[in-house]
Structure 1
């Protein structure tokens, strides 16, 4: 019998349609209480030109993720949503959606609204949302903006877009979880959510993202916890480089962030919260905080604070994963291994 791993790497030799046929005979592993964010499955969704891409075959994607032990998924569903929902319910998997926010008020909101309707059709109650960065930019604040004024103009427009989205979410009955996506500092994020005061707008908390802006994961989780609707749990490894530090998603309990303690903070604030992981299998991110341009769009730190941070990184430096030099098949295997290991961590550590 062809295993899922053999099927995945067979590429064009096998069609995605055969995946669904394996569901009845392949035994499923124990179900983890932890789910997978789609960004942690990017290579499998794309296929890397050596395996069937699953982005357009949601049934195949659900079957594959459940074969790894996933208890739930956050992704953009395609195809027959009724059949897909039935299958996820049969597999005892929960679902969260994704919704792309318009880049400006002049863009249409129809696509956003349809994402919420699709999420509701799937039985989901919340969608992940990210304020789109300026066109052509990375979205990382320190790379996307060259002045505080430029950032504030973006922030004003981005917040206005979210304000326009909230009545749509209220009408459809699906909540919007706005991610701290290397853009707003935690206090800026909290202030915006507080100003909205809507049960249909809250936070998707990523403990690792604001580390790229030298903010502490525990502080980020604690401040945003009252608004938490979704999460992207991840452990982070660090290392020095000449212009700052390297930041990388790593296997849980091998990095510098204590996922079990951070999850406890979020779960206490929202007992209905689903536990999603977002261990992205990729090369480390360069955070050039020793270069003046890094600080162009937000307040700087004193020389003493920067020196203390560099000493902290030095004390916590570890070997970080690199995947860009791997073959496509090896990258797919690395991504699968990371997901299996993280879901297993969830079975042991998540109540």
Structure 2
């Protein structure tokens, strides 16, 4: 075969392959999709994922299966998802926990920026800064005055070292110019139990968890630790409104695909997410669980995740926090 004949044959073969690959993407999805969640059943992230999975199944015309792979602050699930084929049939629920893991620069943890191609944000759970009534802290100003009067004397609970409630406390201390004493627990339940018992002074807690205790008077709400005010507590000002600029520690989550997933597939998934989040029934179901819908396409989601990684890296470095 001479050079000209070979070149012609190659071009014919190549042109045949391109439509085949494009056709496979056009037909997406042609089989069930699985979503890996790094938290246990019943968690806010799990519940929110299952709610939107049902809508995605209807939008895409394929079953969408949610699999829980809890452990290591969502790193176990991240590792499994990152190693899956980049074909859009395995998705990962990326969260603030994964951004924090990536912020640590720990090579043993999955780098969410390098390992995944964002699809879209889905929702966030706003946090609220709460105090035990026995501490006589009625406002953020009270808290800052007390902390300045007794450096390291005000305790704050968290669900563990390097978790978002821990870093929220460190971010508050940095922005307010105070020293707080971190008390880590093995999970949010024992942390909340000791806060309710008065063993610790304050905590950054999910609004959905704290709300019943605020309403019963067992906890005092000092401020919303989110970008916007909390729908269930409309009169509660945000920390940004109270002078701590750009303070937002909401527990966000979204969907991502393994790096290398075709853009056309991600756009198809993103459009389905956007459509699902526009439905009144899903929005109502989200808010009943304390989740605020959080819409963003692939590019905006990528920028948001990078900004979160940078933010928490700065907080961790300033506070000397290291993840094991």
TM-score by length of 1: 0.28
**Bigger RCO of structures 1 and 2 (CA < 8 A, at least 6 apart):** 2
TM-score by length of 2: 0.29
The structure number with the bigger radius of gyration is 2
Higher strand share: 2
